Amino acid sequence: MGVSVPAAFAVLLIATLVSFGMLYVSSENAYSMVHQATEDYNQMALRVKTSELELTGYNYSTQANVTVYDITFNITNEGSTLSPAKWTYIYNGDLTASKVLTSGREYLLPGEWMELTVQNLQKDQTLVNSLVISTEIGCGLKVKWKWVGNATNGSPQVISSAWYCPVEG
């Protein structure tokens, strides 16, 4: 009977030390995970605030005897490095890349530009077209244009272009 009290005390002491050790390790892990998440969020917020695409020009190609045309937009990166390979294109509300041709660049550095071509558009002066270029950071450049003229004589005209970041805080 005298041996059981010191043995029980030793077991309780060892269990207490092990539990405090586990508590310390888990709190250390939680702190490092919260710290890393804060750093990731700050990097994302900085990237969002320093990224911007701008429409710097456009041209088109067509033939007089057809009722479709192609329009090419010159897009300039006015902010931080972006990755066009990760962009999404929304043409007239449809998530599609089949009508949009890109140069296939992996990165677009600050100050560099690239061309995007939207193909086989109808020469319809009542239709307002739109293209949203959604980047990997959640921001996008929206371009609206329409055909001015008739099916044999006319040209596309850009109505507006705007950069927006819905995730800005």
- Residue 53's DSSP bridge partners are 77
How high is the pLDDT of residue 1?
53
Structure confidence by residue, pLDDT tens digits, 1-45: 556 877 888 888 888 888 888 888 899 999 999 989 988 887 777
**Is 105 buried (19+), middle (13-18) or exposed (0-12) by CB count in 10 A?**
middle
CA 72 to centroid of chain Cα atoms = 21
pTM of the model: 0.71
Amino acid at 64: A
Q: Cβ(74)–Cβ(141) under 8 Å?
A: no
Intervals of the chain under pLDDT 70: 1-3, 47-48, 97, 167-169
Q: How far apart are CA 158 and CA 64, in angstroms?
A: 21
On whether the 52-164 domain is CATH 2.60.40, my answer is yes
Token output for 89: 């294109």
Sorted by where each begins, the domain ranges of the chain are: 1-50, 52-164
pLDDT value of position 97: 66
